[in-house]
Structures are given as C-alpha cells and as structure tokens.
Structure 1
Amino acid sequence: MIPSHWFRRIILVVFIMEVGGGILWVTSRLSTNPAVTPMVQALGSLIFLFGFYASAPLSARFLAPRPSRDSAQQERLARIVATIPDSRPVFLYDHTDKEANTVGLLPGHSRIYVTTGLLASMSDEGMRGVIAHENAHVRERHIFATFTYACCFAVGSHLLDNNNVFFAAFLVFLGMRRYCEYRADAGGAAVVGRDTMLTTLRELAALYPSKAWMRWLSFASAYPTLVMRMRAVETGRKALL
C-alpha cells in the first residue's frame, strides 16, 4: 500500500473490508442451492478482485492527494524522468517513508508514486534505476498478470476446495511476484544500463539493510532480497533462494 497518513490508510482498509463483506453477504443470499454455492462465491471473488485492482489509481489519489510543494525536488525528479524513454507519469508526494509504487491495471491508466523521503535519500543515477524499474512493471503488464493469477487462484480455491491445492497455488503466486521483481530489474537495466541498476540496488540496500539469513525465508515473501536482486542483475540468473 502507498505510504500515507495513518488515518487515510485506516479509512481505506475499512472501506475495502466493508465492500468485501458486502459482496460476501450478497453471495450468501444468492447461493441458496448448495450445488451452486462455490460458483457464486467464485463470481463474488472475481468482482471484488476486479474492483480492487481497477480502483487502485483512485485509492492512490486518496492516500496521496496532494503533490509535494518542494519545487527543487519536483524539478530534480522531472529531470530524472525526462531521461527515461516513454515513462509513465510520476507523482511526487511528501512522506518520510522511502518508497516507490506503481498503480494501474493497464499501462494506459498507470501512474508511478514516489515519496520525497526516497528522492531525498538517493542519487540521480539511483533514482533513474527506480523509475526504470517501475516503468518495466507497467511495460510488461505485471499488475495485470498478478490480477489474472489472483482471479484464477480465487476461482480454483472455491471450486476445488482443497487445502493442498490452495497452499501450492499460494506459493506459486509468491514465486510469480518475485519473478516480476527480477523481470522489472532486468527491464530497467535494459533501459538505463546494468551499472545504473546495480547502483540503484546498492543504494536501496544501504537504506534497507537485510540479514544474510533472510534469503532462506524468501520463499514465504512476495519479494526477493536486494542481495538476490543484485546477484540476478550481475549474473543474469534469478536466485529463487
């Protein structure tokens, strides 16, 4: 979720829970026949997932409603973005967390959000890699791919009703998310260069240091460690562990 004021985050989470609860209530009313209950619940899950992913740009505008008023930072970011071919719009907003996020189910509706905390903590070269990485997510439609798999996962979970299949499909989902991060690094490196992408990952690793043992828990995370990502860019090979 995009970093924001805690109150706005709570409001958004509560709203999402209320919508999900409303869909669950409707599906329970419609599925009076036990034979069609899994199908109706699967349809409800698809409606919820589509609304969740498609409304991400609106959620982002709610979480970060105003751009940063720091003209120097805005000008610096504009210069950096201008060096990235066909970049999606980049929105700079005030927040101390050091993060960059991409929203939008389809490339034409995508937008990149960058916090002032991240921009102030990185060099121009490092930020070029960040923007190129986020644009690679858009260019390769990673959000749409995640949405598609989430829909298949939801339908399969309801129709098969098998805990083993659910667990295996969830691990595949985590693996797919990690693969998207590797692909975004590779796509970013193709645009700004391998050395620039490595600079980006090294600066991020300095901001978010990780322990060596964390790589062994990466199978349970949706993101590979920064050390794993650096090795992948250096060698061209994805490290699952």
Structure 2
Amino acid sequence: MANLIRTGLLMAVLTALFMAVGYGLAGGTGAAVAFVVAGAGNFVAYWVADRAVLAAYGAQPADPAAFPRLVALVDRLARKAGMAVPRVFVIDADQPNAFATGRDPAHAAVAVTTGLLGALEEAELAGVLAHELSHIRHRDTLTMTVTATLAGAIGMMSNLALIFGGGDERRASPFSGIAGVLLLVLAPLTATLVQLAISRAREYAADAGAAALTGQPLALARALSRIGEMARWVGNEDAERNPATASLFIVNPLAGTAFDALFATHPPLRERVARLRRMAQFDAAGLTG
C-alpha cells in the first residue's frame, strides 16, 4: 500500500511538471493539453510501461531449453521468497546487466543480458536475480518503471519546446522568454532528480533483500564489482538511446558516459559492495559467536 501511495504522489508531481513544460511551450493552452496528455500517459505507464521497456531493449522470452540455468534459478529463488514466479526475458547485449519491471508481482518480469549470463558464476547470477526479485516483491518495479517512463516523456517534451519555442501567450510578456527557458530546463531536471532519488533509495534495500534470500552477500558483491567494471568499457546502445530507463538496471548501464558524470542513477557501487561485505562479516560473527 505504501508503494501505491508513493507511486500516486510521484504521478501527481510528474504530471505537474508535465503541465509546467506545456505552459512553457504554449501558455495556458499548453498546460491544459499537457494535463490531458499526462493523464493518458499515467494510464498507459501504469498498464503497459513494462512492455514498452522490454520492447525498447528487444527483450525476448527466455526459452527453458536454451537458458535452463537462468529459468531454473528464477523459479527456485521466487519459490523460496514465497512469491509468484515472474516472466523471464533475455536481452541480446554484451554488457552484463539486468532489470525488473511490472506493475505488481503478478505481472512482473526479470530481464537479463546475454553478457550477464556469460560473465557470472551461478552464485553471482543468483545474487543478481535475487536483487531483482526483491524489487518485485516490494513493488519497486511499479514506481521505478512509471517514474522512468514519465521522466523520459517530460525530457522529450521539454526538448521539443526548446526547439520550437513558445506560443503567443508566452511571448506577450517581456519576461516570458527567460522564465520559459528556465522552466523548460528545470522541469526535466527536477523530474530526473525525483527519479534518481527513488532509484538510489531502493538499490540498497534490494541488495539487502538479495543477501537475505540467497544467504551469500559476497556473491552479490562480486557480481556488482564485475558488472560495474565491465560496464566501463562495454557500452549499451539501447540504454544510451533511452537514458531515462537507466535507473531500472542493477548497475548503471551508462557508466563512464557524459550523462553519468552529471547524474548518478544508482548509489556508489563501492558503497554497495562495502555494505554487502559488512553483512557477510556480521553473518560470520553471528555463526561463530
């Protein structure tokens, strides 16, 4: 329930930002049109954003015959967590990475890249999958997917507004030009900051949930380190075309790019690994104490 309330509030905030960009583009008329578009966007984002994200990355359903280890791991971990088994997808991409999406646990999906399957040992892969299942179990996927979709729409609309300028109502005031430009810059920036704050807060919790589910925090720590290192030199073209979706991944797929230098969609990888190592130390102390 808390996540549903939070998602509703986020939709309201992002709708207001959408209207602000509409006002910057065409005054009151633009704001009214933006409100209608945002309302439709909220509806679409809630019901089909997961399918849109999967399609954007060319994700294909994982064939159990072709990916038996992956399908079996997801099934085993989901049952251990006492949750519905999500759909499993594979993305043909060299960069090792993964994300989860879906409006609720009954309509969830986990997607992993072929690069991830080739780069990780079984215990490490289990840690990554458990991380994504934790997002699903706590309904983070709804919040993160909807926020990513609407933040991307705000950014796109702002770019169009900056290119084509405002309407007569905006140009009537001598201050409208400066105010409009500030509005068109600040609205997508604010949407991005809201999105990033949500993502950062939930990554730590999902790491902890994965460690508890697998009982192997060090395996997830190794996986994060390996994925982060490879992401520095193995690009993800689909993510670069859809930067608003970067926050969905377990590790930022835009690592090392100009976008990443300005905004971090995830908490520092070093801190995530350090927390997992401390968990392992506490577990060891509890077993030996």
Distance in 1, matches of 2:69 and 2:148, equals: 37
Match runs of 1:162-201 below 5 Å = 163=183, 166=187, 167-168=189-190, 170-193=192-215, 194-201=217-224
Q: 1:224 aligns with which of 254, 267, 281?
A: 267
Distance in 2, matches of 1:64 and 1:151, equals: 21
Judged with a 3 Å threshold, the aligned counterparts in structure 2 of structure 1 residues 92 and 169 are, in CA distance, closer, same or farther, namely closer
Matched-pair contact (CA < 8 Å) for 2:101–2:109: yes
Distance in 1, matches of 2:148 and 2:118, equals: 36
Aligned to 2:69: 76
Deviation string, structure 1 residues 126-176 (Cα, Å, up to 9, x no partner): 11011101111111111322336987997xx9xxx8749734554233122
The amino acid that maps onto 2:220 is M
Aligned to 1:104: 102
Distance in 1, matches of 2:130 and 2:140, equals: 14
Judged with a 3 Å threshold, the aligned counterparts in structure 2 of structure 1 residues 99 and 107 are, in CA distance, closer, same or farther, namely same
Matched-pair contact (CA < 8 Å) for 2:104–2:136: yes
Count of residue pairs brought into register by the alignment: 197
More relative contact order, 1 or 2 (CA 8 Å, 6+ apart) = 2
Match runs of 1:120-159 below 5 Å = 120-146=118-144, 147=146
Show structure 2 runs of 5+ residues with no match.
Answer: 1-18, 159-179, 234-255, 280-289
The amino acid that maps onto 2:43 is F
Matched-pair contact (CA < 8 Å) for 2:134–2:206: yes
Deviation at 1:201, TM superposition (A): 1.8
Secondary structure of the structure 1 residue equivalent to 2:111: strand
Deviation at 1:122, TM superposition (A): 0.7
Judged with a 3 Å threshold, the aligned counterparts in structure 2 of structure 1 residues 128 and 82 are, in CA distance, closer, same or farther, namely same
Aligned to 1:64: 59
Distance in 2, matches of 1:235 and 1:203, equals: 18
Question: Does residue 45 of structure 2 align to residue 43 of structure 1?
Answer: no
The amino acid that maps onto 1:101 is F
Deviation string, structure 1 residues 18-41 (Cα, Å, up to 9, x no partner): xxxxxx9xx99xxx9x65652442
Q: CA RMSD in A?
A: 3.9
Aligned to 2:88: 91
Matched-pair identity in %: 25
TM-score by length of 2: 0.54
Show structure 1 runs of 5+ residues with no match.
Answer: 1-23, 237-241
Of the structure 1 ranges 172-181 and 217-226, higher mean CA displacement relative to structure 2 is found in: 217-226
Aligned to 2:250: none
Secondary structure of the structure 1 residue equivalent to 2:67: helix
Matched-pair contact (CA < 8 Å) for 1:218–1:224: no
Distance in 2, matches of 1:79 and 1:218, equals: 38
Secondary structure of the structure 2 residue equivalent to 1:102: strand
Matched-pair contact (CA < 8 Å) for 1:90–1:114: no
